[in-house]
C-alpha cells in the first residue's frame, strides 16, 4: 500500500512546492491539494509543485461538476497534466466543501439551487450519481484527445465540438470520490480509482464487494485500479496538541458530519452516549469554526474514543499502533492511504517518512 498526503487549503503554493519536494524525496506516491471555498485555488496551487518535482503524482481533491462544468474541469486538469508531464490526477465528487458554499437562482426571487439539508447544511444536488458519471465520461473523452461533436447528457451538455489534441501526455488519473454503494459501483465501472473518505477497516469488506460489482461491468478491464481512503493524521510530539487538533477537526469525519448513527455507535458504550453526540452535534461544528476545539457538552472520554476510532491521534509512542491499522487497511484491499495533514504539515510528513513508510514497504 502506497502513502499519499492531502494538505490544508491554506498552505501557500510555495509552501506546497516545498512539501512536495520533501514528499517525493521520502517516497510519498502522490499529493492532493484541498478544494475549499475561500482558500487557494486547488488547481493553481499545484503549479509550483509540478515545476519542482519529477515523480510525485499531484491533483485537486475533490472537485464537483456542479461547481465547475466538466468541460472546464477537463481543460484545467489536462493543463496541469501537461505542466507535470503526465503526473496529474483529479478526484470527482458529488458534493464537497466548495459546493456547500455555492447556490444559484434560475429566476429572480426563485429558490436557491442546490437545496441544503436543514440540519447537516450540506448541499444536495439532485441526480448526483448521474452527474458524477457524466462528468467522468466527459473527462475520459477529453483525455483521449479524440474529436467529439459535443456531449448530450441528461445532466451536462456540451453544445460545440471539442477535442483536446493539444494534450500530449498520458493521463490524468480520474478518481471517483465515493462512499455510498451506488457511487462506489459507478466509480469502479468508469473511473481509474476510488477515493473513500474516513472508512475504518471494518467498513472495507462491503466496500470491496461494491467495487467488485462495478469492475465486473467495465467495458474494458482495469489494469491497475486504485483504491484510496482519506485518513486524518493528528499525531504530534505533544499529546495535548494532538487532542486539540482532533477535537477541532472532528466534525469533518464522515460519520460525524453525516450523523451516521450506525458508525457513531461503535464509539459509544450505550445509547445514551450516542444521544449525547447527536444532541450536541452543533458544538462539534462550533469547535471547528471558532478554532477552539472546545466541545463542553460531550465527555472528553467519548470524544477521545471518537478521535482514535476515526483518525490517527496521539504521540510518537502511538505510531506503531497506527502502523498496525495501516497494515490492516492494506490487507483489506487499499492500494493507497491518503493521509490528511493539518497543522505543521512538514512535521507530520517527517514522522510518516521516518516511521510509517519503512514499515509498509
CB hemisphere CA count around 133 (13 angstroms): 15
- Domain layout of the chain by residue ranges: 2-237+315-360, 240-311
pLDDT tens-digit map of 51-72: 999 999 999 999 999 999 999 9
- The predicted pLDDT at position 92 comes to 98
- % of the chain with per-residue pLDDT over 70: 100
What is the C-alpha separation between 70 and 285, in angstroms, rounded?
Answer: 31
**Strand segments (E) across the chain:** 2-7, 30-34, 57-61, 89-92, 104-105, 112-113, 151-152, 157-158, 173-177, 193-197, 226-235, 312-314, 336-340
pLDDT bin (cut points 50, 70, 90) of residue 139 is very high
Q: Does 2-237+315-360 carry CATH code 3.40.470.10?
A: no
Is pTM, for the whole model, over 0.75?
Answer: yes
**In the block, residue with C-alpha cell 462491503:** 206
- The predicted pLDDT at position 123 comes to 85
Task: Count CB-CB contacts under 10 A for residue 147.
Answer: 11
- The predicted pLDDT at position 34 comes to 95
pLDDT tens-digit map of 152-161: 999 999 999 9
Work out the average pLDDT over 214-229: 96
pLDDT bin (cut points 50, 70, 90) of residue 97 is confident
SS3 277: helix
- The predicted pLDDT at position 246 comes to 98
Burial class, 337, CB count within 10 angstroms (exposed 0-12 / middle 13-18 / buried 19+): buried
Work out the average pLDDT over 238-245: 98
Q: Specify whether the CB–CB gap between 84 and 58 falls below 8 A.
A: yes
| 183: Cβ contacts below 8 Å, ≥ 6 apart | 94, 128, 129, 132, 176
- The predicted pLDDT at position 98 comes to 83
- The predicted pLDDT at position 118 comes to 84
Amino acid at each position: 500500500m502506497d502513502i499519499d498526503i492531502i494538505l490544508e487549503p491554506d498552505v501557500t503554493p510555495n509552501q506546497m512546492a516545498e512539501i512536495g519536494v520533501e514528499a517525493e524525496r521520502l517516497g510519498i506516491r502522490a499529493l492532493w491539494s484541498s478544494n475549499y471555498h475561500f482558500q487557494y485555488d486547488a488547481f493553481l496551487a499545484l503549479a509550483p509543485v509540478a515545476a519542482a518535482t519529477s515523480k510525485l503524482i499531484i491533483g485537486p481533491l475533490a472537485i464537483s461538476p456542479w461547481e465547475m462544468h466538466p468541460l472546464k474541469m477537463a481543460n484545467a486538469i489536462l493543463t496541469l497534466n501537461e505542466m507535470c508531464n503526465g503526473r496529474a490526477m483529479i478526484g470527482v465528487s458529488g458534493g464537497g466543501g466548495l459546493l456547500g458554499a455555492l447556490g444559484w437562482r434560475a429566476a429572480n426571487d426563485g429558490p436557491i439551487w442546490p437545496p441544503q439539508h436543514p440540519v447537516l447544511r450540506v448541499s444536495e444536488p439532485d441526480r448526483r450519481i448521474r452527474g458524477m458519471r457524466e462528468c467522468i465520461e466527459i473527462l475520459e473523452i477529453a483525455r483521449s484527445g479524440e474529436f467529439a461533436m459535443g456531449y448530450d447528457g441528461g445532466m451536462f451538455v456540451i453544445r460545440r465540438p471539442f477535442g483536446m489534441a493539444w494534450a500530449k501526455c498520458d493521463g490524468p488519473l480520474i478518481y471517483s470520490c465515493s462512499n455510498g454503494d451506488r457511487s462506489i459501483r459507478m466509480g469502479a465501472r468508469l473511473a481509474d480509482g476510488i477515493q473513500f473518505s474516513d472508512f475504518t477497516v471494518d467498513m472495507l469488506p462491503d466496500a470491496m464487494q461494491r467495487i467488485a460489482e462495478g469492475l465486473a461491468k467495465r467495458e474494458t478491464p482495469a489494469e491497475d485500479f486504485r483504491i484510496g481512503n482519506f485518513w486524518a493524521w493528528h499525531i504530534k510530539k505533544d499529546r495535548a496538541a494532538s487532542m486539540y487538533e482532533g477535537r477541532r477537526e472532528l466534525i469533518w469525519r464522515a460519520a460525524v458530519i453525516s450523523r451516521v448513527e450506525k458508525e457513531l455507535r461503535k464509539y459509544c458504550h450505550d445509547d445514551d452516549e450516542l444521544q449525547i453526540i447527536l444532541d450536541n452535534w452543533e458544538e462539534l461544528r462550533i469547535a471547528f469554526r471558532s478554532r477552539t476545539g472546545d466541545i463542553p457538552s460531550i465527555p472528553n472520554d467519548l470524544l477521545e474514543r471518537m478521535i482514535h476510532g476515526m483518525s490517527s491521534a496521539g504521540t510518537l509512542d502511538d505510531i506503531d499502533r497506527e502502523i498496525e491499522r495501516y497494515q490492516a487497511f492494506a490487507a483489506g484491499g487499499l492500494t493507497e492511504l491518503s493521509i490528511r495533514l493539518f497543522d505543521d504539515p512538514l512535521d507530520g510528513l517527517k514522522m510518516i517518512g521516518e516511521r510509517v513508510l519503512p514499515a509498509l514497504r
